[in-house]
Amino acid sequence: MPKTAAPKETPLMKQYNAIKAKYPGALLLFRVGDFYETFGEDAIRASEILDIVLTKRSNGSASEVELAGFPHHALDNYLPRLVRAGNRVAICDQLEDPKSVKGIVKRGVTELVTPGLSFNDNVLDRKRNNFLASIHYENDNSLGIAFLDLSTGQFMTSQGHAAYISKLIQGFQPAEVIFCKRQKTEISRFIPDNGARYMLDEWVFSEDFANEKLLQQFRTSSLKGFGIDRMKNGIIAAGAILHYLDETEHRETAHISSIGRLDEDKHVWLDKFTIRNLELVYPQQEGGVALIQILDKTTTPMGSRLLRQWLVLPLRDPEKIRDRHEIVSSLVKDGNLLTDLESHLKKIGDLERLISKVATRRINPRELSQLRKSMLILPSIAELLAAQGDPGLNEIAIKLDPCIELIERLQKELKEEVPMVTHQGNIICDGVDETLDELRAIAFSGKDYLVQIQQRECERTGIPSLKIAYNKVFGYYLEVSNTHKNKVPQEWIRKQTLVNAERYITEELKVYEEKILNAEEKLVAIEQDLFSRMVEFAGDFTHRIQQNARAIARLDCLMSFARVALQNRYVCPQVNDSLTIDIRQGRHAVIEKQLPPGEPYVPNDVYLDNDHQQIMVITGPNMAGKSALLRQTALIVLMAQMGSFVPAESAAIGIIDKVFTRVGASDNLAKGESTFMVEMTETASILNNLNNRSLVLMDEIGRGTSTYDGVSIAWSILEFLHNHPDHRPKTLFATHYHELNQLSEDFVRIHNFNVSVKEAGDKILFMRTLKEGGSEHSFGIHVAQLAGMPNKVVIRANEILHFLEKDKRKNDTSKKLSEVPKANYQLNLFEADPRFKNVEELLNALDINTISPVEALLKLNEIKTVLQNKS
């Protein structure tokens, strides 16, 4: 970044520099008149991001300072771009009316917007939470983490080992992470390379300070009621977030009324590799499809955000899972109910974020009107749910609070159609405030009132030609022609004499003139005050409306599951406490939706238990569907445990508490890790965290090293999984190492399966059907041919393969790869086989110009006979 000259200390720049010094690292938007201005390096950065003009000014001296700005009314357009570029943006506003101040207007930062702290709808994604995360590091086995979505008030904390914290970061995808400056090295590994981060002083991360901050926030004497009183590191992380809110001028935090505890033992363990490999939330490839895109048919923003959380935090409690399934079943069975509920939910706005704006006094009239409209829908939804006689639906209905007092006041005071901003007026209904009504009558019916005065005075004075007019010098005045000036009442005050007339003013006219001229300004002030009082009153309902939002979000998620089940032929799984997974005719939820029209997905059965079939070793060719089978099994289990129906004919799922996947790999060059190192790191994480209810998916373990090394590692891993002294994790192990088929002969709980193909001459057809027994071929060369590999490469690969397989059949291990027949791409094709020599001679003897069609057919038959003769 080029070094810029310091701005000259004019009074304005002195004020700017003083404010800038309080917010180091933040880009300062400095309000000057109708513009937000940036100076120096901030101006250079803003001009590049916003593509606005960068200018310079000298301030009357030799030095110059860069300058870039935009109109204040365009803030909502430009602010999101600055924040999305990773900037912390300090918004400095004028705190006084410039008209009433001599000299420099008082200014101050009214909000510091960061990637993790924003209420701006253009910054936020309505379908995703905007989490700020805080991490406190003690050691690798003891870390605290907290998440806050300022826009909704959702506040959560947890603590655990490094892998658990990493998994939470991967699942919640915070927009910004804060941590202690001293712990930069330890914590940076948890944050994506391009992730927004901010470091705080060490004293912020102390238990006493954090505990006090939380008690002040929740106005309690203890944290026991939140279940986090023994979570020292979690408390420290949460306290740091509250401190960060103060530091960023976010002081209205009444909507942050509680803190939830994220329990590791209540949700399925999904490490960061599994969340990535199964593409739960984000596809790995550009243009790909993640599971969330299949399952999210929600209607409200609250529902969409909650569904994303359910996806990365599947349940482990069978009873709670069954509660969700029962509600989904009720909705699936009654299509009319689902349609009626959907029509109501479409009318509901983002209750969570709307009530947060109320609590923080950031809501505008149109948003408050939207809140009212949303609340008016709730009684109809509650009535529909209660009428079904379903316990689960009735429980949701009970939680819907109509907030009658609030709705009555909003209906009485807030107009039906209101503007976006308060200074435009026309917000408050007639009859709410006498002064307001009077001013409206003056402002909007002023001419009528003047006509009334004119008519009345004409009758009283007997001056038929009396006129009321206005000019900037005298304001409103009465004009009387010279013919009638002797009829002018004594109390009128003469202001001007014309050739043919006299002009007068009256006390009544001057009072009314003042009312008319000031009416609009007073109207705005009164309406703003009444609106502010209305918002303050609505703030008392924050917690009740947050409860409504949570209930609607839950209903919306379960309705989404029902819609998806109906559209895609999903069934209700049986979730129990057994140690068995029995999936009949299971399908991959994502892949089946991506197939060309008319092409069905080939379903398969998967059975795993801890006593008889703990490990399935699956062989078969590339592209046959081994990886899809592994993934679909995990997705079916996770969908079942988050409360969704599943793509299968039937599914009985014994609760799984950990899902591990080792599927695919890539280099991590930035950290100096090869593909194989990444593979081994992920595998080690699996083997070190197993238990009896784990589901393990391993795909092509050991392929990143030499064949013998790879087979040895894969073999050893399977033995380890089978012979683990404490646990029997259910495992799907896809491999090309056919040697592993031998393990089923020595280990009773290892069974061989293959994804079948059908050979037709030199071609293969992928049947994608899982069958018992191992496979001896991978058909990799056929796949290479399908991919468009040059024909010479395919022919040469076949030649080498035949040599190696012949060598293998003879069990002759003395031969080396160096003995593979040498390739000589310059040789004539016919020299490779004596039969081709004979064919060449036959072809050379032909005269193409004279041969008849019949003779050509006979010659072709002769050539075919030669080629079929293998002697």
Q: Is 622 annotated as a binding residue?
A: yes
Query: 442 or 159: whose pLDDT is higher?
Result: 159
In a domain, 122, yes or no: no
* Average pLDDT for 605-618: 95
Query: 786 or 299: whose pLDDT is higher?
Result: 299
The CATH number that applies at residue 151 is 3.30.420.110
Among 280-289, 662-671, 700-709, 789-798, where is mean pLDDT lowest? 662-671
Q: Which of 713, 709, 734 is nearest to 622 (CA)?
A: 734
Q: Is 626 annotated as a binding residue?
A: yes
In a domain, 810, yes or no: no
CA–CA gap between residue 591 and residue 601 (Å, rounded): 8
Is there a single domain that holds both residue 631 and residue 716?
A: yes
Is there a single domain that holds both residue 624 and residue 713?
A: yes
CA–CA gap between residue 385 and residue 143 (Å, rounded): 43
In a domain, 212, yes or no: yes
Judged by DSSP in three states, 697 sits in: strand
Phi, psi of 749 (to 5 degrees): -100, 10
Residues 6+ apart with CB under 8 A from 414: 365, 368, 369, 372, 427, 428, 429, 534
Domain final residue, candidates 212, 237, 262: 262
Q: Is 621 annotated as a binding residue?
A: yes
pLDDT in tens, 301-353: 999 999 999 999 999 999 999 999 999 999 999 989 999 999 999 999 999 99
Percent of residues, the chain, with pLDDT higher than 90: 55
pTM of the model: 0.82
Q: Which of 424, 372, 417, 373 is nearest to 535 (CA)?
A: 372
pLDDT in tens, 453-497: 888 889 889 999 999 888 878 788 899 999 898 998 988 999 888
Sheet with 650-654, strands from edge to edge, namely: 574-576, 650-654, 581-586, 604-608
In a domain, 1, yes or no: no
Asked whether residue 6 carries a pLDDT value surpassing 70, the answer given is no
- Per the structure block, which two tokens stand in for 620? 């078969």
Q: How confident is the model at residue 807 (pLDDT cuts 50, 70, 90)?
A: low
Parallel/antiparallel/unpaired status of strands 142-149 and 132-139: antiparallel
In a domain, 682, yes or no: yes
CA–CA gap between residue 374 and residue 365 (Å, rounded): 14
In a domain, 280, yes or no: no
- What pLDDT, on a 0 to 100 scale, did the predictor assign at position 599? 85
- What pLDDT, on a 0 to 100 scale, did the predictor assign at position 537? 97
Is there a single domain that holds both residue 245 and residue 301?
A: no
Rg over alpha carbons for the chain, rounded to the nearest Å, is 38
Asked whether residue 808 carries a pLDDT value surpassing 60, the answer given is no
- What pLDDT, on a 0 to 100 scale, did the predictor assign at position 25? 85
Q: Is 725 annotated as a binding residue?
A: no
The CATH number that applies at residue 60 is 3.40.1170.10
Residue 113 contacts residue 89 (beta carbons within 8 Å)? yes
- Please name the residue that has the structure tokens 């409360």: 643
pLDDT in tens, 202-212: 999 999 999 99
Residue 650 contacts residue 636 (beta carbons within 8 Å)? no
Percent of residues, the chain, with pLDDT higher than 70: 88
The CATH number that applies at residue 442 is 1.10.1420.10
Q: How far is CA 698 from CA 68, 277, 777, in A?
A: 55, 11, 19
* Average pLDDT for 206-234: 95
Q: How confident is the model at residue 605 (pLDDT cuts 50, 70, 90)?
A: very high
SS (H, E, C) 822-849: CCCCCCCHHHCCHHHHHHHHHHHCCCCC
Is there a single domain that holds both residue 635 and residue 705?
A: yes
Residues 6+ apart with CB under 8 A from 853: none
Is there a single domain that holds both residue 610 and residue 633?
A: yes
Domain count for the chain: 6
Judged by DSSP in three states, 388 sits in: coil
In a domain, 284, yes or no: no
Is there a single domain that holds both residue 199 and residue 58?
A: no
Is there a single domain that holds both residue 750 and residue 625?
A: yes
Domain boundaries, position 464:
434-531
CA–CA gap between residue 841 and residue 847 (Å, rounded): 12
User: Which DSSP symbol is given to 350?
Assistant: -
Asked whether residue 101 carries a pLDDT value surpassing 60, the answer given is yes
Q: Is 62 annotated as a binding residue?
A: no
What mean pLDDT value characterizes the chain?
87
Is there a single domain that holds both residue 366 and residue 251?
A: no
Show contacts of 375-379: CB within 8 Å, 24+ apart.
Answer: 375/351, 375/402, 375/403, 375/406, 375/407, 375/545, 375/548, 376/407, 377/344, 377/345, 377/347, 377/348, 378/402, 378/548, 378/552
Query: 239 or 670: whose pLDDT is higher?
Result: 239
Q: How far is CA 152 from CA 119, 149, 361, in A?
A: 9, 6, 14
Is there a single domain that holds both residue 672 and residue 768?
A: yes
First to last CA, the chain: 78
Query: 379 or 188: whose pLDDT is higher?
Result: 379
- Please name the residue that has the structure tokens 């983002």: 350
Is there a single domain that holds both residue 456 and residue 321?
A: no
Q: How far is CA 529 from CA 415, 417, 427, in A?
A: 15, 19, 11
In a domain, 821, yes or no: no
Residues 6+ apart with CB under 8 A from 117: 132, 150, 176, 244, 245, 248, 250
Domain final residue, candidates 241, 262, 283: 262
CA–CA gap between residue 532 and residue 535 (Å, rounded): 5
Domain final residue, candidates 786, 816, 848: 786
Is there a single domain that holds both residue 106 and residue 136?
A: no
- Please name the residue that has the structure tokens 């102390």: 206
Is there a single domain that holds both residue 254 and residue 183?
A: yes
Residue 512 CB-half CA count within 13 A: 20
